[in-house]
Structure 1
Amino acid sequence: MEAADILGALQAQTAILPGGRDLEGRPLLLVSVPSETQPWNKDHLDTVLRYFLFIFSPETRRNGLAVVLDATRSSWRTARACMRQVGVTMGADAAALIVLRPEAFWDKQRVDNCTRTQKEGEPVYIPVCRLHKYVELSQLPEELGGSCSYDHNQWLQNRIDVEAFTKETEGVVSDLEKLRQRLTRFRAGVRVSSIEEALSLNREMFDTTKDLAHKVLQAGKELLEHFVPNRDLAAPQDLLDTADRVERLLEIIHGKEALIEEAWLAMEKSFVDAKEISSLEEGVSRVTNWILGPAEMMLNGQQEVGFDVISAEELRQEHETMELQCRDTYGHYAELLHKIDRLPRCDIELPEDLRSQRDFMDFVCRSFATRLERRRNVLITSLRFFRLVSEYFDRTNEVFESLLKCDDVENLESADAMLVELQESHINIELLGREVMKEGEKLADILSMPVKDALGRGVEVNYESDIANVLELLDATTARKNIFCDSVEVHKLTLAQVSHIRAYERDAAQAVQWLDDLFQVMLKAHVHVGCNVYEIQSQKEEHQSFQETAKVRDFCPYKRQFNLHTFRVRCVGK
């Protein structure tokens, strides 16, 4: 209900709000009962009273209003009809009903109302002269003998202005709510194109609505300062309640502005989040497609393991080149995993599509990395095997050549050193042979294992020829080992014999030297024969001691035989 809609009823001044209060602080509502010569419309009074009740706040209505019914110029029948209409329209909101009657009315009454007890809720019939007992004169308008100035036309204009502002404010609130609802439609998970389009479409509406809200807020502040410059109890209650309603509207606008700002920031954040998610999806798709496309093709094109050291080394270098090409993709893969896993901690909802794409990319990259690592291990094992085989044959050849060069049994001086060197070489080559067999069996086992691609599907790779080559090399190594061991054992036995001959010859030369020394001693000390028994007995004892010394210096009979045999062999050789 607005004043502009019932302007005729309000201009008739059937009822007014003069702005005063009764002694209990309740706002006054003045109803003028027309005279018998003036027309009276019950509907107009009902409409005006309802409008007045609409102006006041619920709290004010609970406290009640003081209704002053001016019936000084009307008949009792008309006054009673007005009283009845006031009771019907206002009900409990009319806390006090004061009926003003002319002085002649009291002269005709048979019952003295002064002695009657007043009941709560009943009208109070008094003349104008006694009105000051219920309402101070400063709160009454001039037509009732008070000093309160009241301009009804100004009051109407104020109501029209306030209601126009209220209507405009409610429209702004509605526009703000519509804008908020439009902005809140774009939540996490929408596409970048949708949010970007929403930003461009709603930007102008957002700026226009904010400017309009700012103007309304400024107009509301000016309106409050104009109507209620001082918020105290002396101000009319209808203005205070209207000011409260305007302030609530302004607070609603402030709240809506805050919600719109929040929704706009949320939409901008959604746009940023959507761009980030879109970028992550593109990165995941790029990494996955590269692994399943070019990377798989490159790895499928490298299935050889080589047949010697040179070919295996070339294949290993080619594989390292491919690993360098995959390193950038691995870096993007790790970066994408870190960014995607960090989204929930950054208050960004992780879409299910991106989660599925992330898991698939992780599975594909890990499967491809496993296959790439397997290929690397195969090439390293192959290269190590061929190097060990080559080293084994080279070292056995060196030993064979050294055996051929040192086949002269006359060189007895170096036999011991040659024997020690040959034993060390034999031990080292035995260890090397075990490594060759171990690496060969390992390579054959690896080549026999099944191969799977990045999707976990089996890949047909034929390594039968490579496995056959490895087994042939192992057989050749075994045959080489048997020949080498036999040759080395024979040569070790020969060197041991030569070493023994050299030792026996040294012992024989030493024995000859000792015999010569004994002979010289015998010539010097044992050629004289004693002259008496005692001297002869002493010489006999010395001679026996000399014989014992000669026996100790002597060597075993088998040494003499071996030296004799060696001497004969050496003589035949010469």
Structure 2
Amino acid sequence: MLNSVSDLHGYIDKSQLTEDLGGTLEYRHSQWINHRTAIENFAMSLKTTAEMLQMFGACLATKELPSSVLSAEDLLMSHTRQRDKLQDELKLLGKQGTTLLSCIQEPATKSPTSKLNPSELENVTTMERLLLQLDETERAFNQFWSEHHLKLNQCLQLQHFERNFYEVKLALDSLLAEQAEFTDIGDSVICVEQLLKEHKNLEGKGQDTLEKAQLLSIIGDQLIQSHHYAVDSIRPRCVE
């Protein structure tokens, strides 16, 4: 049975006792409560943000890719805005966590002999673990976004390629139809000269269209070389 505080000192070192028990251990209960409350709030914010990222990722993963240039552009901008908002949330959370950790560690920076008490060391360990978890969450999200953003850009490239392909194909079909109409060889000098003029005009239009087709084929080859996800639909277009 202990009869006095001094008796307690015979069993427990003063460095492990608070000042009200004659020890040297600095401990402020109100500060401990504030720190624990802040840590729990930070942990809850981290959990909520992680769930938001998971929901966002699941939504993007199941979203059907658009089939037009305009819709692809709209989807890319929409997803990028959502991603930027979540990225800002992560950065803000990181700043809050770093600030909280600094506040917990502050007593040890007051003087060379100052040390954190066991509860403060526990809080530091908890915050370091939470910040590591935040860092891992952010890296995983950035990796997912990098892959998704690439796919959205490839989708937009594909829609541009498809639109240009059909425009060139339509132009070539039109030229072939015009060429098929040239069955008259002319029965006079004037008629022959007129036919030659029309042939030359058609040849000029055909040259422009062929150059566009060649450029489109080069673009298609570049998409194939970049391992585009729709390579199986791009390659036949290039051949055609």
Pairwise same-fold verdict (TM > 0.5): yes
Structure 1 residues 129 and 207: alpha-carbon distance in aligned structure 2, compared to 1, 3 A threshold: closer
What does residue 104 of structure 2 align with?
A: 227
Following superposition, the deviation at residue 335 of structure 1 comes to: 0.7
Which whole-Å CA distance do the structure 2 matches of 1:311 and 1:151 have between them?
Answer: 107
Which whole-Å CA distance do the structure 2 matches of 1:159 and 1:291 have between them?
Answer: 73
Following superposition, the deviation at residue 279 of structure 1 comes to: 2.0
Do structure 1's residue 179 and structure 2's residue 60 form an aligned pair? no
Structure 1 residues 193 and 241: alpha-carbon distance in aligned structure 2, compared to 1, 3 A threshold: farther
Structure 1 residues 194 and 246: alpha-carbon distance in aligned structure 2, compared to 1, 3 A threshold: farther
Matched-pair contact (CA < 8 Å) for 1:138–1:148: yes
Following superposition, the deviation at residue 200 of structure 1 comes to: 4.9
Matched-pair contact (CA < 8 Å) for 1:287–1:333: yes
Do structure 1's residue 327 and structure 2's residue 204 form an aligned pair? no
Write out aligned runs for 1:343-422 (5 A): 343-346=223-226, 348-359=228-239, 362=240
Following superposition, the deviation at residue 327 of structure 1 comes to: 1.0
Following superposition, the deviation at residue 130 of structure 1 comes to: 4.4
Do structure 1's residue 242 and structure 2's residue 123 form an aligned pair? yes
Structure with greater proportional strand content? 1
Partner of 1:291: helix, strand, or coil?
helix
What does residue 34 of structure 2 align with?
A: 157
Following superposition, the deviation at residue 342 of structure 1 comes to: 1.0
Which whole-Å CA distance do the structure 1 matches of 2:194 and 2:237 have between them?
Answer: 37
Write out aligned runs for 1:52-451 (5 A): 72=1, 128=8, 130-132=10-12, 136-141=13-18, 146-183=23-60, 190-191=66-67, 192-202=69-79, 205-229=82-106, 230=108, 234-260=115-141, 269-292=150-173, 294-303=174-183, 319-346=199-226, 348-359=228-239, 362=240
Which whole-Å CA distance do the structure 2 matches of 1:348 and 1:354 have between them?
Answer: 9
Following superposition, the deviation at residue 158 of structure 1 comes to: 2.6
Which whole-Å CA distance do the structure 2 matches of 1:347 and 1:165 have between them?
Answer: 42
Which whole-Å CA distance do the structure 2 matches of 1:265 and 1:254 have between them?
Answer: 16
Matched-pair contact (CA < 8 Å) for 2:18–2:26: yes
Following superposition, the deviation at residue 331 of structure 1 comes to: 0.8
- The one-letter code matched in structure 2 to 1:281 is E
Following superposition, the deviation at residue 219 of structure 1 comes to: 2.0
- The one-letter code matched in structure 2 to 1:276 is Q
- The one-letter code matched in structure 2 to 1:248 is R
- The one-letter code matched in structure 1 to 2:33 is L
Q: Percent identity?
A: 21
> Alpha-carbon deviations, 1:517-570, whole Å to 9, x = none?
xxxxxxxxxxxxxxxxxxxxxxxxxxxxxxxxxxxxxxxxxxxxxxxxxxxxxx
Following superposition, the deviation at residue 260 of structure 1 comes to: 4.5
What does residue 570 of structure 1 align with?
A: none
Structure 2 spans left out of the alignment, 5+ residues = none
RMSD over aligned CA atoms reads 4.0
Following superposition, the deviation at residue 337 of structure 1 comes to: 0.5
Which whole-Å CA distance do the structure 2 matches of 1:296 and 1:348 have between them?
Answer: 32
Partner of 1:166: helix, strand, or coil?
helix
- The one-letter code matched in structure 1 to 2:168 is V
- The one-letter code matched in structure 1 to 2:116 is A
Which whole-Å CA distance do the structure 1 matches of 2:192 and 2:78 have between them?
Answer: 65
Following superposition, the deviation at residue 336 of structure 1 comes to: 0.6
Following superposition, the deviation at residue 166 of structure 1 comes to: 1.6
Matched-pair contact (CA < 8 Å) for 1:224–1:243: yes
- The one-letter code matched in structure 2 to 1:148 is L
Write out aligned runs for 1:431-510 (5 A): none
Following superposition, the deviation at residue 329 of structure 1 comes to: 1.2
Following superposition, the deviation at residue 340 of structure 1 comes to: 0.5
- The one-letter code matched in structure 1 to 2:55 is K
- The one-letter code matched in structure 2 to 1:159 is R
- Give the count of matched residue pairs: 232
- The one-letter code matched in structure 2 to 1:284 is F
Structure 1 spans left out of the alignment, 5+ residues = 1-71, 73-101, 104-126, 363-574
Following superposition, the deviation at residue 213 of structure 1 comes to: 2.8
Following superposition, the deviation at residue 284 of structure 1 comes to: 1.2
Following superposition, the deviation at residue 226 of structure 1 comes to: 1.4
Structure 1 residues 319 and 347: alpha-carbon distance in aligned structure 2, compared to 1, 3 A threshold: same
Matched-pair contact (CA < 8 Å) for 1:184–1:263: no
Partner of 1:343: helix, strand, or coil?
helix
Q: TM-score, normalised by structure 1?
A: 0.34
> Alpha-carbon deviations, 1:418-465, whole Å to 9, x = none?
xxxxxxxxxxxxxxxxxxxxxxxxxxxxxxxxxxxxxxxxxxxxxxxx
Which whole-Å CA distance do the structure 2 matches of 1:334 and 1:242 have between them?
Answer: 66
